[in-house]
Structure 1
Amino acid sequence: MSKFKKKKMADPGISTASLPDIVFMLLFFFMVTTVLREQEILVEQKIPSATQLQKLQKKTLISYIFIGKPKNTALYGTEPRVQANDALLQTPEIVQWVNQERDMLPESDRGGITISMKVDRDVKMGPISDVQNELREADARRILYASIGKVQK
């Protein structure tokens, strides 16, 4: 009988020494590449689908107007409202909003401002027509009607 017994050696496990480096590298990558939402939508949006699509070249010249029933109906009612830049606007305020958006652009691009209208599919044509008339008064002639499209190959 021997006094000392041999212990069985366990297989060495996978080294996790570089695991924190990999985790922080992935975390840094996603922090740098993530695009945050620019504005909070205060109106309901069920966008109609489209049959033809056209891609825009300069997305920096686009300003967005959302039209739909307010999400907070207790505060704003159930009638369709116009939203621009995280604020609900009355129809006469659209001209002032367009001028503010135009002033934020460089001098050379002010004539190329495009207003993108994202309208809920359940909104009647009356509020849309009122917004269109205000955009005409503000000399915003380039209007984009946004929709959900199916790309055909």
Structure 2
Amino acid sequence: MSKFRKGGSKELPAVNTASLPDIVFMLLFFFMVATVLRKNDVKVAQILPAADQTEKLQKDRSVYIFGGKPGEGYKQFGTEGKIQIGDKFVNINEVQPAILEEREKLRDELKDRVMVAFKVDKETNSGLVYDVKQELRQANMLKVIYITTQTEDAVTQ
């Protein structure tokens, strides 16, 4: 008289995996779009000076030079101002070959229009900046820009 049967083991249906490749590719695409790859690991302190007139830099034709005291994880290199080109510290006499090496990494049509972006900590000695500029002149890299932070009222000191 009962409508329900007892006993009788029923098997679970198999898991449908037809949509699994779609999910995997969707996640892969999301992480490819959302991930930002950092080009250089900055090893120097970067407190930039303030400026009231700035403009956007085209990053595809720039070679970056970082200047400043070594950062927290790089105290073994001393406390004086250092120059970083790419991912390594360079001395003044190594600036010219290092900057030419970085220029060779650019696309062929941009090599003759390259700009050197100088990102220097505001506490860095101006003699270091002057020496780097002299090396850039000898390498015929005359387009130099300075990267700063933008403020409404830049105070000149």
TM-based fold match above 0.5:
yes
RMSD of aligned residue pairs (Cα, Å):
2.5
Go from structure 1 to structure 2 and tell me whether the alpha carbon gap of 1:109 and 1:120 turns closer, same or farther (over 3 Å shift): same
Question: Does 1:47 pair with 2:23?
Answer: no
TM-score of the aligned structures, taking structure 2 as reference length: 0.73
Bigger mean CA deviation after superposition, 135-144 or 108-117: 108-117
For the residues of structure 1 that align with 2:117 and 2:93, how far apart are their CA atoms?
Answer: 18
| 1:88 counterpart SS class | strand
Aligned twin of 1:68:
68
For the residues of structure 2 that align with 1:97 and 1:142, how far apart are their CA atoms?
Answer: 16
In the alignment, is the contact (CA less than 8 A) between 1:53 and 1:151 conserved in 2?
Answer: no
For the residues of structure 1 that align with 2:33 and 2:106, how far apart are their CA atoms?
Answer: 25
Letter in structure 2 aligned against 1:39: N
Q: Which runs of 5+ in 1 are unaligned?
A: 1-19
Q: CA deviation at 1:151?
A: 7.2
The residue correspondences of 1:2-151 to structure 2 (distance < 5 A) are: 25=26, 28-56=29-57, 58-71=58-71, 72-73=74-75, 75-150=76-151
Count, aligned residues: 131
Identity of matched residues, %: 38
| 1:83 counterpart SS class | strand
For the residues of structure 2 that align with 1:38 and 1:151, how far apart are their CA atoms?
Answer: 30
Q: Which runs of 5+ in 2 are unaligned?
A: 1-19
Aligned twin of 1:17:
none
Bigger mean CA deviation after superposition, 130-139 or 100-109: 100-109
TM-score of the aligned structures, taking structure 1 as reference length: 0.75
Letter in structure 1 aligned against 2:67: I
